[in-house]
Structure 1
Amino acid sequence: MKSIQDSVDVAVPVRIAYNQWTQFETFPEFMGGVEDVRQITPTTTRWTTKVEGVRREFTAEITEQHPDERIAWKTVDGLHHAGVVTFHRLNDHSSRVTLQLEFEPEGFTEKAGAALGMVGLQTKGDLTRFKEYIEHQGTATGGWRGEVAPPA
C-alpha cells in the first residue's frame, strides 16, 4: 500500500473550493489521466482513467462528507484506491486543500511509477491545476452540501 499527501493554497473562500470539489464530473478538466467521471448517485461515481497507456474503470463511493471540511472515498470495484480531501479556511478569501491518497499499484508499470514518485508528481500537478481552475472561475460550478456519516 502506498500513501501520498499534498496541499495547495487557493485564493477562494473555503466554501467555493469545497463546492467545486463536489463537482466530480469536472475533474477531467484539471486532473491528468482522468478521462471521465459520471455521478451515479449523490455518493457514487464511475471513473475512467488512462495513465501510461493503461485504461481503468472503477466505481468510488463517498464514505464521509462534511461540507466545507472533508470528503473521504474508497473504490468499491477495480483497483484499490482510497483518500480524503480536507478544506481549511486560511482567511475570508483563501483556503488550503489537502489531499491524502492510499493506493495499491498493480503491474510492473504502476509499481515502478510509484517507486519513482510519479503518483506524487501527478497529485501535485492535479492540485496545481485545481488551483488554477478554481481561481480562474472565481466561483464553483455547483455544489453538493450533503452530509455523509463515516461507517460505524
Structure 2
Amino acid sequence: MATVQQSIDIHVPAHAVFNQLTHFEDYPEFMDEVEAVQQIDDRHLHWTTRMANRNVEWDAEITERQADRCIAWRNTSGPTNIGMVEVEAAGPDDAHVTVTLESDASQVPGSMAGESASELSRRLKLDLARMKDFIESHGPGTEVWRSREHGAPIDAASPEGDRGEPRNAPIPTSSYAAGSEGWSSEEDSASPVASQRAATGRREFPVDRPMDALRADHHLVRRLFDNYFHAGDVDDKRDAGSHVLLLLEMHTSLEEGVFYPRVNDADASLVERCEQDHEQARQLIDRLKLMDESDPQAEQLFHELADAIFKHIELEEHQLFPKVQQAGLDLSAIGHEMQAFESRMIAARQQRSVAPGLRH
C-alpha cells in the first residue's frame, strides 16, 4: 500500500470547485487513466479505467461528504483505493484543494508489484494540474457545476480558446522544431520554418491582458511535461524534453526581459522570489542539457524541474498576478512591450531555423 498527498490552488471560488468535484462524470476530462465514471446513486459509483494496458473496473462507495469542504470514498471491488478530497477557501475567488490517496497498484492485473509512492504521487500531481486547467477554463460564470441533489447540469457555451481539444491530447511536434537532437534549445530544423503564428501555436498576443499570455504558457508547459512523462520511448522523450526546455527558456526570457522589471513596483519581494525560482530552474535546465536522454538520472531531474516549475506557477498566478492587477500599472503598455520582445525572440530563432512553441 502507498499513501500519497498532493495539493493545488485553483482560481475559482471554493463552493464552485467542490460542486465540480462532485460531478464525477467529468473526471475522465482530467484523470489520465480514467475512461468513464457512472454515478449509480448518491453514494455509489462505477469506474472504468485503462491501467497497465488493461481495462480495469471497480465499484466505489462515498463514505463522507461535507458540502463545500470534503468528499471521501473507498473501493468496494477491484484494487484497494481509499481517498479524500478536501476543499478550503483561500479567498473569495480561490480554493486550495488537497487530495489524499491510499492505493495498492500491485493489485492491478499486469502492473509492477510495489509501485513506488513517488510514481503514484507524480501521476496525482499531473492529474491535479489538468483538473486545475479544466475547472479554471470554465470559470464560475459559466455555471457548468451542479449537485445531483439540485437537478441536471446547466449546459454552457465553451469558452474561447483550446478547451475543445481531446483530453490529454499531446502537443503536435509540428508546432516545434523538427529533427531536434538532444535537449539543447539550439535545435536545427529539418523542415522549412513555419510562419510566426504556426511557430508560436497561438492567436495574436493579448496586449491588453499580458498576464493571460503568461497563463497560456503555464497551461502549455503543464501539457508538455505531461507529454514527457507519458513518452513511450527514448526518441519521444528526447523530443518532448527538448520542447519543455525550449518553452521554459523563451518564457523565462520574456518575463525577465520585460514583465518583471515593469511590475517590480507592484511587489518587489514577490518579483525577487520569482527571479530566484528562475535561477533554480535555469540550473536544472543546464544540468539536463549535459545529459543524454537515455541517462537514467534524466527523468528524476525532470521530476525536480516539474516540481519547481509547478510551484513557481502557483506563486505567479495566485500571488504576483493579483498584486499586479491591483497596482494600477499600464498593463496595455506592458503587453505591447512583451509582444515586441517576443517577436524579436521568434525572429531570432527563425533565423536559426527553429520553430518555437509558445502558446497553445
- The two structures have a TM-score, normalised by structure 1, of 0.89
Residue 131 of structure 1 corresponds to which residue in structure 2?
Answer: 132
93 and 40 in structure 1: CA distance in 2 versus 1, 3 angstrom threshold: same
**Counterpart amino acid of residue 144 in structure 2:** T
Question: 1:49 offset after TM fit, Å?
Answer: 0.7
Aligned pairs (5 A) from 1:1-152: 1-106=1-106, 109-112=111-114, 114-115=115-116, 117-139=118-140, 141-144=144-147
| Residue segments in structure 1 that go unaligned for 5+ positions in a row | 147-152
- Larger fraction in strand: 1
- Larger fraction in helix: 2
Question: 1:16 offset after TM fit, Å?
Answer: 0.7
| C-alpha RMSD over aligned residues | 1.7
SS at match of 1:18: helix
Of stretches 45-54 and 59-68 in structure 1, the one that deviates more from structure 2 is 45-54
Q: Distance in 2 between matches of 1:36 and 1:5?
A: 23
Q: Distance in 2 between matches of 1:141 and 1:131?
A: 15
Q: Does the CA-based 8 Å contact 1:67-1:145 persist in structure 2?
A: no
Could you give the per-residue CA deviations for residues 56-103 of structure 1, whole angstroms, max 9, x where no partner exists? 100011000001110000001111101100001000010111000001
**Counterpart amino acid of residue 144 in structure 1:** S
Once the two structures are aligned, what percentage of the paired residues are identical?
34
Residue 335 of structure 2 corresponds to which residue in structure 1?
Answer: none
104 and 132 in structure 1: CA distance in 2 versus 1, 3 angstrom threshold: same
Q: Distance in 2 between matches of 1:20 and 1:91?
A: 18
Could you give the per-residue CA deviations for residues 107-151 of structure 1, whole angstroms, max 9, x where no partner exists? 573435x227221111001110010000001035233276xxxxx
Residue 216 of structure 2 corresponds to which residue in structure 1?
Answer: none
72 and 81 in structure 1: CA distance in 2 versus 1, 3 angstrom threshold: same
**Counterpart amino acid of residue 120 in structure 1:** S
110 and 119 in structure 1: CA distance in 2 versus 1, 3 angstrom threshold: farther
- The two structures have a TM-score, normalised by structure 2, of 0.39
Q: Does the CA-based 8 Å contact 2:2-2:116 persist in structure 1?
A: no
Count of equivalent residues: 145
Question: 1:104 offset after TM fit, Å?
Answer: 1.5
